Structure 1
Amino acid sequence: MANIIRQLQFYLTYPFVQYALIVGVLIAFCSSLLGVTLVLKRFSFIGDGLSHVAFGAMAVATLFKLTNNTLFIMPVTIAAAILLLRTGQNTKLKGDAAIAMLSVGALAIGYLVLNIFSTSANVSGDVCSTLFGSTSILTLTNDEVKLCISMSIVVVAFFCVFYNRIFTVTFDENFTKATGKYVAFYNLMIAIITAVIIVLAMNLVGSLLITALLIFPALSAMRIMYSFKGVVIYSAILSVMGALVGMLISILFSTPVGSTIVAIDILIFLMNCLMGKLMRR
């Protein structure tokens, strides 16, 4: 145990490890805030669909050899979020069908682009790293860290300022409309903020595992807490704890970052399920 602590202290002296932990905690915290709303509004799969769109955008950005992929991926993912929100209101094309079409289409096109216009000798390895997470979280530049911090501040500020509106839109859209509030605007902002979180989380857990950051902490908190505010706060605590422990384990034992964080989130969910049953008894 003493050796592990000394090894951890040694790793924490490196700036790139400190950057990774800061970014990982911020992403987990932001994900937990919107995750509760997405679960309650039954929008859980929107994260999965947008993550695949982000993968397709990443493939195109790689094709054009852009120096900062995020500046291309984020607008594309935000546009996809707006499109999903609009098509989900179409009676001819339901929301779940639109998500499925966009998700599968973007994933297929992204993989096709990477194979046809390959810029690397290890296409399969690159794709696997992008989908399931890689050590890219440990190679963040100062600009990427600053971008993540600034976008995290925007997400937290939006949630705090519009907390009451988000609460009412989450539980009763008809009542919110009756009070004269612009429900479509708040739904649109929730979709855009979700897209921002997904783009930021790609380096942490990979495209296919992003949904876990949004869903598991919220579901875990719902096993224990019964108020919206309580669920949001407890979800944030669990999400940050899961990301921090997962990243530390990954650094110490050289396990995949994304998969390790999701595995810790699963353990946290199971523990809260057990705690919830014991409390009800």
Structure 2
Amino acid sequence: MSIIETFSYYLSYPFVQYALIVGVLIALCSSLFGVSLVLKRFSFIGDGLSHVAFGAMAIATVLNFSMQTPFIMIITIIAAVLLLRTGQNTKIKGDAAVAMFSVGSLAIGYLLMNVFSTSTNVSGDVCSTLFGSTTLLTLTKSEVVVCIIMSLLVVGFYIFFYNCIFAVTFDENFMKATGLKAEIYNLFIAVITAIIIVLAMKLVGSLLISALLIFPALSAMRVMVSFKGVVIYSAILSVLGALVGIVLSILFSTPVGATVVVMDILIFLINNFIAVFKRA
């Protein structure tokens, strides 16, 4: 009863409400496109773009930009386009391109924050950016509004182009045969993944973002057999993991990002057990 009362007390604060809203929206968006990324074996793109976002954030911090989020989003989207184009180059394979962008951006970002940062706690700033904020107080009302708008656009795009996303996920050759350009929808998926990653940086950090894309999708695939079933179940599991993780982080003062990821891991293990039980 005391835990419920404590959570009710915290829930009256705007920063807790902001965290819950942003957490649910990010979890929903990441789960939708995470399924396609996993099925297309593009899971690594989330990790690469998250490191690019870290490098862009370091540049924005050093240059003291007042509007950091739009700058980071533009740089990450450009990187997503370049990553897709570079991955199609026969001389540079997709996994090599991701590794090149990932390691390079991470190194440049860390170097800039150490050399040019005016902060007295550079290590703390880097750790907070990589693994998520240790406090929920960092979310502002403007960031929540941006997250709501972008999340609505992402979900709307997914619903409107669901059939095309389904086709490009499973059979690009058939899609091309019907006259649709698979490259455009692959580009859309990469760009929207970049948007989701930038939105999620405040919550889970750049190193943990891939978990939001991968774990709910893998959990749903262990139980469901149809694409639509996997997408819906993945969204439910992702939102549940985000909600429970944020609530636990509030009650027990644990890092938000790490707590949410641990919940996603537990959900995966539970669904893995369910899958084994169903086959028995």
Q: TM-score, normalised by structure 2?
A: 0.99
SS at match of 2:223: coil
Alpha-carbon shift at residue 137 of structure 1 (Å): 4.1
Residue equivalent to 1:196: 195
Alpha-carbon shift at residue 280 of structure 1 (Å): 1.5
For 2:153 and 2:77, locate their aligned partners in 1 and report how far apart those are by CA, in whole Å.
15
SS at match of 2:118: coil
Residue correspondences, number:
280
The equivalences for 1:1-281 within 5 A come to 2-135=1-134, 137-281=136-280
Deviations 1:107-136 (A, max 9, x none): 000000000102101111110010001145
Structure 1 unaligned residues grouped into runs of 5+? none
For 1:211 and 1:167, locate their aligned partners in 2 and report how far apart those are by CA, in whole Å.
21
Do the aligned partners of 1:136 and 1:203 also contact (CA within 8 Å) in 2? Answer: no
Do the aligned partners of 1:19 and 1:138 also contact (CA within 8 Å) in 2? Answer: no
For 2:140 and 2:256, locate their aligned partners in 1 and report how far apart those are by CA, in whole Å.
18
Q: Structure 2 counterpart of 1:25, which letter?
A: V
Alpha-carbon shift at residue 16 of structure 1 (Å): 1.2
Do the aligned partners of 2:134 and 2:254 also contact (CA within 8 Å) in 1? Answer: no
In structure 2, relative to structure 1, the CA distance for the partners of 1:136 and 1:69 (3 Å cut) is farther
For 2:20 and 2:186, locate their aligned partners in 1 and report how far apart those are by CA, in whole Å.
31
Q: Structure 1 counterpart of 2:149, which letter?
A: S
Deviations 1:109-168 (A, max 9, x none): 000000010210111111001000114543322211110000000100110000000000
Deviations 1:156-199 (A, max 9, x none): 01100000000000000000000000111101100000000000
Moved over 6 A (4+): none
For 1:50 and 1:136, locate their aligned partners in 2 and report how far apart those are by CA, in whole Å.
24
Cα RMSD, aligned residues only: 0.7
